[in-house]
Amino acid sequence: MSTKKGRILAVDDNSDILFALKMLLKPHVEMFVAETDPSLIPDHLNKNYFDVILLDMNFNKDAISGNEGFHWLDVILKMDPAAVVLFITAYGDVEKSVKAIKAGAADFIVKPWQNEKLLATIWSAIRLKESKNEVSQLKEKQKEINTIMDKPFANFIGVSEGMQKVFSTIQKVAATDANVLILGENGTGKELVARALHRNSNRSEEPFISVDLGALSETLFESELFGHIKGAFTDARTDRPGRFELASGGTIFLDEIGNIPLPLQAKLLTVLERREVTRVGANRPIPVDVRLICATNMNISQMIGEKHFRQDLLYRINTVEIDIPPLRERCDDIPLLADHFLKIYSKKYNKKISSFGSKIIEKLSSYSWPGNVREFQHVIERAIIMSEGSELSPSDFQLSSHLDASEEFEIDSFNLEKVEKKIIAKVLKRFKGNISRASAELGLTRASLYRRMEKYDL
Same-domain check for residues 360 and 301: no
Q: What is the pTM of this model?
A: 0.59
Same-domain check for residues 103 and 208: no
Same-domain check for residues 177 and 304: yes
Same-domain check for residues 110 and 88: yes
Q: 65 falls in which pLDDT band (50, 70, 90)?
A: low
Q: What is the pLDDT of residue 176?
A: 94
Same-domain check for residues 332 and 315: no
The verdict on residue 94 lying in a domain is yes
The verdict on residue 298 lying in a domain is yes
The verdict on residue 34 lying in a domain is yes
Same-domain check for residues 319 and 342: no
Q: What is the pLDDT of residue 217?
A: 81
Q: 141 falls in which pLDDT band (50, 70, 90)?
A: low
Same-domain check for residues 86 and 201: no
Same-domain check for residues 192 and 310: yes
The verdict on residue 411 lying in a domain is no
Report the 3 state secondary structure along 81-140.
CCCCEEEEECCCCHHHHHHHHHHCCCEEEECCCCHHHHHHHHHHHHHHHHHHHHHHHHHH
Of the three residues 274, 290, 323, the one that is the final residue of a domain is 323
Q: What is the pLDDT of residue 245?
A: 92
Q: What is the pLDDT of residue 283?
A: 86
Q: What is the pLDDT of residue 140?
A: 64
| Residue-number span of the structural domain to which 434 is assigned | 416-455
Q: Could you give the C-alpha distances from 318 to 178, 264, 305, in angstroms and in order?
A: 8, 18, 17
- Say whether pLDDT at 248 is over 50: yes
**Percentage of the chain lying above the pLDDT 70 cut:** 89
> What's the pLDDT tens digit per position in 391-443?
787 778 877 554 444 445 566 667 778 888 888 888 888 777 778 778 877 87
> What's the pLDDT tens digit per position in 67-110?
788 888 889 988 888 888 988 877 555 566 677 777 788 887 87
The verdict on residue 442 lying in a domain is yes
Q: What is the pLDDT of residue 150?
A: 46
> What's the pLDDT tens digit per position in 310-320?
999 999 999 99
Q: What is the pLDDT of residue 101?
A: 77
The stretches of 249-402 forming alpha helices (DSSP H) are 262-274, 300-305, 311-317, 334-348, 358-366, 372-386
Same-domain check for residues 331 and 308: no
Q: Residue 435 and residue 341: Cα distance in Å, rounded?
A: 25
Three-point CA angle 173, 174, 178, nearest 5°: 60
Of the three residues 280, 306, 323, the one that is the final residue of a domain is 323
* The residue count for the chain: 458
The domain spanning residue 434 has which CATH number?
Answer: 1.10.10
The domain spanning residue 15 has which CATH number?
Answer: 3.40.50.2300
Of the three residues 78, 102, 136, the one that is the final residue of a domain is 136
In sequence order, what are the beta bridge partners of 300? none
Q: What is the pLDDT of residue 403?
A: 47
The domain spanning residue 348 has which CATH number?
Answer: 1.10.8.60
Same-domain check for residues 201 and 106: no
Same-domain check for residues 433 and 300: no
> What's the pLDDT tens digit per position in 177-206?
999 999 999 999 999 999 999 999 999 989
**Max CA separation in the chain (angstroms):** 99
Q: What is the pLDDT of residue 253?
A: 96
The verdict on residue 153 lying in a domain is no
The verdict on residue 423 lying in a domain is yes
Please list, in sequence order, all residues whose beta carbon lies within 8 angstroms of the beta carbon of residue 389, skipping any fewer than 6 positions away. Answer: none
- Say whether pLDDT at 235 is over 50: yes
Q: 367 falls in which pLDDT band (50, 70, 90)?
A: confident
Total domains in the fold of the chain: 4
- Say whether pLDDT at 165 is over 90: yes
Look over the chain and give the mean of its residue pLDDT values, rounded to a whole number: 84
**Percentage of the chain lying above the pLDDT 90 cut:** 34
Q: What is the pLDDT of residue 111?
A: 77
- Say whether pLDDT at 7 is over 80: yes
Q: What is the pLDDT of residue 66?
A: 61
Decide which of 414 and 27 is more confident. Answer: 27
The verdict on residue 448 lying in a domain is yes
Same-domain check for residues 244 and 386: no
Amino acid identity, position 433: G
